[in-house]
Copies of this chain bind each other. A is one copy, B any other.
């Protein structure tokens, strides 16, 4: 029967059928990530309830989950809307990235965790070679996720994944030109090299430089 995690284990083996509310949240999360639900769009409880074949209460629980991830915002008595990031949010999100990513890089990582970073770099190169703009963005997200993963902290990983989800949010608002990530491939490679060489401070410095340029770019795109 495989009884597992007697203590505070959220993850149990089982067949792991996610609760309905969780699945609804995942579905909405996916649609937001894909751009099927654009920032600012209103999510009506009743409509979603019918469309997804679940009760209003369940939709409501899913909303709570997404709201905690900042993917939607709740306006009391008005409804929930797909989060729409403003210019000020850009700076805020990058503040979080600076804190978390730089800290992880400064702390270095195990050989395997650095290998994961390298893998993300290669993934990006392949996508670039194939002209896969979509895959390039995905690889970039993987790269920065891998950086944070070096720290081996579950909480930091969760925070980072939420931040990356938020980033995708304003990528849709002003759809990014194809060569957006192209410029940053070399940066990623150099950061990774510094890590492999054990020079964490250099890696951190390069990362900070990258983040500054990236933020500037985003700000420029979103003030036009």
Chain A interface residues (CB < 8 Å from chain B): 7-10, 12, 19, 57, 60-61, 64-65, 68-70, 73-76, 81, 83-84, 86, 91-93, 95-96, 98-100, 102-104, 107, 151-156, 159
Contacts and interface: CB of A to CB of B under 8 A. Distances in A.
Contact of A154 (B92, B100, B153): B92
A73 B8 contact: yes
A144 to B, nearest CB: 14
Nearest to A10: B73
Contacts of A83: 8
Contact of A155 (B73, B74, B86, B95): B95
A84 B73 CA distance: 29
Given A61-B64, A64-B61, A64-B68, A99 B10 contact: no
Given A96-B155, A98-B103, A98-B107, 17 more contacts: A8-B86, A9-B75, A10-B73, A10-B74, A12-B76, A60-B61, A65-B68, A70-B155, A91-B153, A92-B153, A93-B155, A95-B152, A95-B155, A96-B159, A99-B100, A99-B104, A102-B103
Contacts of A7: 84, 86
A215 to B, nearest CB: 13
A67 to B, nearest CB: 8
Contacts of A86: 7-8
A75 B9 CA distance: 8
Contacts of A92: 153-156
A95 B156 contact: yes
Nearest to A62: B64
A154 B166 CA distance: 14
For the complex of A and B, the 6 pairs showing the least CB-CB separation, nearest first, are A68-B68, A99-B103, A95-B153, A64-B64, A92-B153, A96-B155
